[in-house]
């Protein structure tokens, strides 16, 4: 049986999803300010790494990385409402790309598992 | 058969079986940045100097990276010997001589440097100018290597800027001036002649944009090319006459200047470039976008271009960080 990553379309799917997902995130006033000062290319690379992880693909993400990477944003008020917004866009992006609902829910479950690390709890 | 070697900074390293270029360099204590090790994040990019790259080491890279033999070291298992370097480290120092300096307006000097052994570059890439005492600053090439036997830079006079003051006041024809480079990924790549292109920038951000424009036209680009040059006032639109002449000669080219301070009497719109550029083009889905100049403006334009529909991979941004800012 093929893995979730393979069913989604592998690296090609990540490439397709990153623009859609990142554009949604930047267009959302609830969360856009957290991305105000970042280098877009570096940020896009991180978004790709995040999507690969959420898609069940090969990655070297650790909880500690997630904590360290978001600690400065938690100080600026990053919380559940923002995390929820990102998950909403993740689901919305995949729907826009025509991904099946059962696969989307698996991706959301994986992304959800990073919540406590991202929010440093 | 012996395992192929990876050469890095002049030293050869023998790869172990099934060892990627990244792992081989890391095993030998070379500090290469990396993150995902799975060909996604692109933090382990290196550049091949010589040798053949396997195709899967370049999956997902933008066209300017492909053109310069960049590759993902974490996904690279070459069958042969490979010499590699860090991105943008390949440029050698080339001795040059000042061919000509003249003023394009009150504060921008056009500097043309002739190199007896000219480095291979693409219009829009940048070089480090090396002053004889070792002071180094980067400037973008406005010249076209196929047409010009010099490399042209546009040097804005920055009050207190050591390099720019020296270029404006002391440098003269016949003086030695060494270059190192080229570097940067802001340049035209042929292959999609009908694709619409937006070139937008402020100040001497025009230098690389002008180079890219000339390159695109010389290579037969037939799709629309919009160049939007923003300045504080109309005196800063230092290639206005030349660009209007090019617009006359090339129906696919549109030149759209704008100024922050002006009364519109001279027909030049008063506008912020980030709003104005997008009002000239409309949605940017399917466009190629080149952005050069002041870092804040480049960053704003980059975000707006992306939100207007341009793919991240199709946006080439070159923020000019002045040494006074850094």
Q: Are residues B78 and B99 in the same domain?
A: no
Contact across the interface for B37 and A58, Cβ inside 8 Å: yes
The parts of chain A modelled with pLDDT lower than 70 are: 1, 60-61
Q: Which residues of B touch A18 (CB under 8 A)?
A: 312
Condensed to tens digits (0 to 9), the pLDDT of residues A41-64 reads 888 888 888 898 899 887 766 777
* Domains of chain A listed by start with CATH number: 4-118 (1.10.490.10)
Tell me whether residue B29 is in a domain: yes
Residue B5 pLDDT > 50:
yes
Instruction: Residue B138: name the closest of B160, B123, B158, B153 by CA.
Output: B153
Residues B259, B298, single domain; the answer is: yes
Quote the number of domains for chain B. 3
Q: In A, which residues are within 8 Å of B311 by CB distance? A: 19
CB under 8 Å to B326, separation ≥6 — which residues?
Answer: none
Please indicate, yes or no, whether residues B301 and B232 belong to a single structural domain of this protein: yes
pLDDT at B262 over 50: yes
For an interface test with A, which of B26, B33, B41 has the most A Cβ atoms less than 10 Å from its Cβ?
Answer: B41
Parallel, antiparallel or unpaired: strands B5-8 and B11-14: antiparallel
| Co-location of B97 and B70 in the same domain | no
pLDDT of residue B108: 97
Distance CA B174, CA B308 (A): 47
Measured between alpha carbons, how far is B250 from B242 in angstroms, rounded to an integer? 12
Do the chains contact at A52 and B59, CB–CB below 8 Å?
no
Query: What pLDDT does B267 receive?
Result: 84
Which of B296-301's residues contact partners 24+ apart within 8 Å by CB, and which partners? B297/B201, B297/B202, B297/B230, B297/B273, B298/B201, B298/B205, B299/A40, B300/B274, B301/B200, B301/B273, B301/B274, B301/B277
Q: Last residue of some domain: B131, B148, B183?
A: B183
Q: In terms of domains, do B244 and B205 share one?
A: yes
Residues B24 and B39 in one domain: yes
The domain of B27 spans: 5-85
Boundary (domain end) residue, out of B85, B104, B122: B85
Residues of B in contact with A48 (CB under 8 A): 40-42
- Whichever domain contains B35, its CATH number is 3.10.20.30
* Residues B20-53: tens digit of each pLDDT: 999 999 999 999 988 778 787 788 899 999 999 9
How distant is the Cα of B186 from the closest Cα of chain A, in angstroms?
A: 14
Residue A57: alpha-carbon gap to chain centroid: 13
Q: Are residues B79 and B106 in the same domain?
A: no
Q: Which residues pair with B129 in a beta bridge?
A: B137, B179
Nearest by CB: B43 against A23, A45, A61: A45
Same domain (yes/no): B205, B299: yes
pLDDT (average), residues B145-161: 95
Is B189 domain-assigned? no
- Beta-sheet strand order (sheet of B11-14): B11-14, B5-8, B82-85, B45-50, B70-72
Q: How far apart are CA A18 and CA A13, in angstroms?
A: 9
Query: Which CATH number do you get for residue B120?
Result: 2.40.30.10
B109 and B175 share one domain:
yes
Closest CA relative to residue B290, chosen from B231, B190, B210, B230: B210
pLDDT at B198: 98
Residue B259 and residue B145 share a domain = no
pLDDT band at B8 (very low <50, low <70, confident <90, very high): very high
CA-nearest residue of chain A to B302?
A: A40
Q: Do the Cβ atoms of A59 and B302 come within 8 Å?
A: no
Nearest one of B17, B12, B19, B28 to B83, comparing CA atoms: B12
B54 exposure class (CB count in 10 Å sphere: 0-12, 13-18, 19+):
middle
- The per-residue pLDDT for B224 is 98
Interface of chain B toward chain A, CB-CB under 8 angstroms: 35-43, 59-60, 299, 302-303, 306-307, 311-312, 315, 317
ipTM above 0.90, yes or no: no
Q: Are residues B158 and B231 in the same domain?
A: no
In a domain, B326, yes or no: no
For residue B166, pLDDT beyond 50: yes
**Which of B129, B161, B183 lies at the terminal end of a domain, its last residue?**
B183
Residues B307 and B201 reside in one and the same domain: yes
A81 CB contacts (<8 Å, ≥6 apart)? A30
Check pLDDT > 60 for residue B78: yes
């Amino acid at each position: 049986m093929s893995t979730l990553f393979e069913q989604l379309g592998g690296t090609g799917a990540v490439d397709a999803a990153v623009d859609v997902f990142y554009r949604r995130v930047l267009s959302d006033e609830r969360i856009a300010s957290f991305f105000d000062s970042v280098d877009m290319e570096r940020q896009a690379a991180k978004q790709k790494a995040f999507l690969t992880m959420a898609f069940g693909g090969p990655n070297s993400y650790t909880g500690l990385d997630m904590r360290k990477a978001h600690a400065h944003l938690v100080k600026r008020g990053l919380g559940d409402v923002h995390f929820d917004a990102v998950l909403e866009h993740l689901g919305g992006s995949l729907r826009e790309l025509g991904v099946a609902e059962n696969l989307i829910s698996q991706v959301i479950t994986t992304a959800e598992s990073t919540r406590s690390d991202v929010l440093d709890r | 058969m012996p395992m192929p070697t990876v050469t890095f900074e002049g030293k050869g390293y023998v790869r172990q079986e099934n060892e990627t270029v990244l792992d081989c360099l890391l095993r030998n204590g070379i500090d290469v940045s990396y993150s995902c090790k799975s060909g996604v994040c692109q933090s382990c990019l290196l550049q091949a100097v010589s040798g053949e790259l396997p195709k899967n080491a370049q999956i997902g890279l933008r066209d300017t990276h492909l053109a310069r033999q960049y590759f993902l070291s974490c996904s690279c298992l070459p069958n042969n010997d490979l010499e590699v370097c860090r991105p943008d480290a390949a440029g050698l120092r080339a001795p040059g001589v000042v061919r000509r300096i003249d003023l394009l307006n009150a504060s921008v000097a056009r500097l043309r440097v002739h190199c007896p052994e000219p480095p291979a570059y693409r219009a829009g890439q940048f070089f480090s100018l090396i002053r004889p005492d070792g002071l180094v600053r980067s400037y973008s090439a406005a010249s076209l290597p196929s047409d010009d036997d010099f490399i042209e830079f546009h040097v804005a006079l920055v009050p207190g800027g050591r390099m720019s003051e020296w270029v404006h006041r002391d440098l003269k024809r016949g003086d030695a001036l060494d270059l190192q480079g080229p570097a940067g990924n802001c340049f035209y790549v042929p292959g999609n002649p009908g694709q619409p292109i937006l070139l937008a920038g402020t100040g001497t951000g025009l230098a690389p944009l002008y180079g890219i424009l000339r390159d695109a036209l010389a290579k037969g680009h037939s799709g629309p090319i919009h160049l939007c040059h923003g300045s504080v006032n109309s005196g800063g639109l230092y290639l206005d006459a030349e660009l209007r002449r090019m617009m006359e000669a090339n129906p696919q080219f549109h030149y759209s200047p704008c100024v922050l301070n002006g009364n519109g009497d001279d027909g030049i719109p008063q506008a912020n470039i980030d709003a104005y550029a997008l009002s000239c083009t409309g949605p940017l889905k399917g466009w190629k976008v080149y952005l050069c100049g002041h870092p804040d403006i480049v960053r704003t334009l980059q975000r707006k271009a992306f939100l207007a529909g341009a793919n991240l991979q199709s946006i080439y941004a070159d923020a000019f960080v002045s040494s006074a800012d850094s």
